[in-house]
Structure 1
Amino acid sequence: MDTRQQLYRDMDPHNLTPLWEVLHALVPPRPNTPCIPALWKYDEVRPFLLRAGAAITAEEAVRRVLILENPKLRGQSAATQSLYAGLQLILPGEIAPSHRHTQSALRFIVEGSGAWTAVDGERTTMRPGDFIITPSWTWHDHGSEADGPVVWLDGLDIPMVRFFDAGFAQNSVGRSQQVARPEGTSFSRFGHNMAPVRHEAPYGATSPIFSYPYERSREALEQLERQAPVDEWDGVKLRYVNPLTGGSPMPTMATFLQKLPKGFSGKPWRQTDGAVYSVVEGSGEVLITHGGEEWRYAFGPRDHFVVPSWHTARLASGPGCVLFSFSDRPVHQALGIHTEERLS
């Protein structure tokens, strides 16, 4: 028998394996994610959300969510290898019961107004385009006083926390938490480029503002479009920040809002952080290429798509559009492994 093969056979019962057989897979010449691009058209997804609303209550489900699974990660509840994305539905009069968990979460409101979310005793009303944070290990519940369905995008670092085997969760004994502070208190304290003279970060490494209204964010994009040069790759793009640090709103996820002007035809780019996009308004197209393959998606309001790690993407829009996105960039940056290329 071949000496090398005999070595492999003899050491296998001792839970040993030769590095040289797997080295190129462990340390590849370039990022090689198993994920592929994917698009979820809202007009196709919405009927299933409404059917879920008829099939199970928000209280029974705890969180009535349809997970946006990457086609190559089916069964893993993941949009990328580190990010979870799903669309959550709440109907008039419902309450999604209070709980907390170590996973950080974001909500980006897709449809409907009049629902609310509460974080550690403070409520905020949900409106389309609002970006709302649920910091790690904070009590949170959702309810609705709206006349119709309210839907939002859930983004969590579930796969990342699962990788570190660091997930904990706890359910509240009450159906919903008691409101202890008036709505808007967090924004009043930290949302005006100012902070109380004496304070502690209420949510640790997470932003003390847990609700970023779309109206203010969109106004900033419009002013920049009028007053500053349009970036050839991103159009007009801003990142949400933690006002106490200037960094990302959450330690594991970065969030962005960008406006592609009318007639925009962007240049290609790629980055190591995979990103999930939600189309806020308008329409456009994304072209994604990787390893000789090509994906071209036309998108409209409330559609969602994912651009995996190190896939080359370029955005275009005839009428103009606004896009929200989130990625795992803060972790890449903290580890010193983030890479981005802006191609011509």
Structure 2
Amino acid sequence: MNSPTTTPSDDGTGLVPTVNRDAEAGRAGFYERARSQHLAPLWRVLHGLVTETPQPRCVPAHWRYEDVRPFVMEACHQISTEEAERRVLVFENPGLPGQSRITQSLFAGFQIILPGETAPAHRHVASALRFIIEGRDAYTAVGGEKTMMLPGDFVITPSWTWHDHGNVGSEPMIWLDGLDMHIVNLLAASFREGYPGKVHPVDRPEGAAMAEAGTNLLPVDQDYGTLTSPIFNYPYDRTREALDRLSRFREISPWHGHKMRYVNPVNGGWAMPTIATCMQLLPKGFESRPYRSTDSTVFTVVEGHGTSRVGDQVFHWGPHDLFVVPSWTTVQHATATDDAVLFSYSDRAVQDKLDLFREEKL
């Protein structure tokens, strides 16, 4: 007698390898009756649901700023901020076309605001980060406080806070938007609301948040009631100085160079509860050792030039380029003639809280 066929599934269904394939045809009637009650056999899909290693649907990708910027500028001639509400061009991962995703869980887009324009006030459950790419004399107002923005600044819009943007300068302002909307939508927890007026009233002086929480001191009677950092603008000049000072005395990481994470001064956690944000300095002539982790990560280049080997692809990058490292994909960074600084964000903040994060230093 021949033994049952129990070879591993090769049809992409996730069929458990020990299932007798020769017997599956005789079970078709049972499967059809079960489907009438909205039931399905786990053994036909289990290995596709619980994979041996991460199977990211996003793929390594690289956008050159010199290629993207002309489209951002042209968008200004195509549509106004009033019509668009937010004039943003979305980065769509090639592995996730038409889904407004740069990774499975995160959104990315370039937003531009021209001199004299105002992006109207609204609020939403999704948290947002702004990383400033170019320009000056534009602002974000968050929860009644306005902050002016400069290239390299990391700005937070916490969940369900009123916010609007304006440009009082003489040149365009472009920034990277990163949002956790896909995490929020996975949980069916999204709300949004437009403000009745164009801008939300400002009732706190500029710099109030930094004065309250940015000097290693906190008001003794303040109850923050949120996991988001009360500091909503982390200026690049302070970040760059911190990296430079760190590099003078701390041994460099063979995998990350000099890498620091943005923190919430209230609890020491990530600055945003759902999005992990970091800045790293790669000295000239540095070549990192292979590294991989479970958080798909978006990088943008702040300074310098270099290369990153992501899986079997090599990206040659310069200032303001974006590139993506998918989950559990090996990455190596290298610089040659100048120092480089990279800003990155990922869903590690969520993975840490759920005990899901894993990394491997090779």
- TM over 0.5, shorter chain: yes
Query: Counterpart in 2 of 1:107?
Result: 130
Compute the displacement of 1:186 (Å): 0.3
Q: Following superposition of structure 1 onto structure 2, how do residues 1-344 of structure 1 map, counting pairs within 5 Å?
A: 2-201=25-224, 204-289=226-311, 294-318=312-336, 319-343=338-362
Per-residue Cα deviation, 1:90-142 (whole angstroms, up to 9, x for no partner): 00000000000000000000011110000011000010000000000000000
CA distance in 2, matches of 1:302, 1:56: 24
Say how many residue pairs are matched.
338
Q: What is the aligned-residue identity percentage?
A: 51
CA distance in 2, matches of 1:198, 1:187: 17
Structure 1 segments unaligned to the other structure (5+ residues): none
CA distance in 2, matches of 1:181, 1:12: 58
Per-residue Cα deviation, 1:32-74 (whole angstroms, up to 9, x for no partner): 1111011111111101011101111112111100001111111
SS of residue matched to 1:153: strand
Per-residue Cα deviation, 1:226-284 (whole angstroms, up to 9, x for no partner): 11111111000000000000000111011000000010000011111111111001011
CA distance in 1, matches of 2:252, 2:25: 63
Structure 2 segments unaligned to the other structure (5+ residues): 1-23
2:281 partner letter: K
Compute the displacement of 1:11 (Å): 2.0
1:307 partner letter: V
Q: Which consecutive aligned stretches of 4+ in structure 1 deviate over 4 angstroms post-superposition?
A: none
Query: Counterpart in 1 of 2:6?
Result: none
Compute the displacement of 1:27 (Å): 0.6
CA distance in 2, matches of 1:6, 1:167: 40
- Rg larger for: 2
CA distance in 1, matches of 2:57, 2:299: 19
TM-score, scaled relative to structure 1: 0.97
1:306 partner letter: V
Alignment root-mean-square deviation, CA: 1.0
Per-residue Cα deviation, 1:135-194 (whole angstroms, up to 9, x for no partner): 000000000012111100000001111100100000001101111111111001100111
Compute the displacement of 1:5 (Å): 2.1
1:284 partner letter: G
SS of residue matched to 2:260: strand
Compute the displacement of 1:2 (Å): 3.5
CA distance in 2, matches of 1:228, 1:9: 64
CA distance in 2, matches of 1:81, 1:146: 36
CA distance in 2, matches of 1:2, 1:288: 43
1:33 partner letter: P
TM-score, scaled relative to structure 2: 0.92
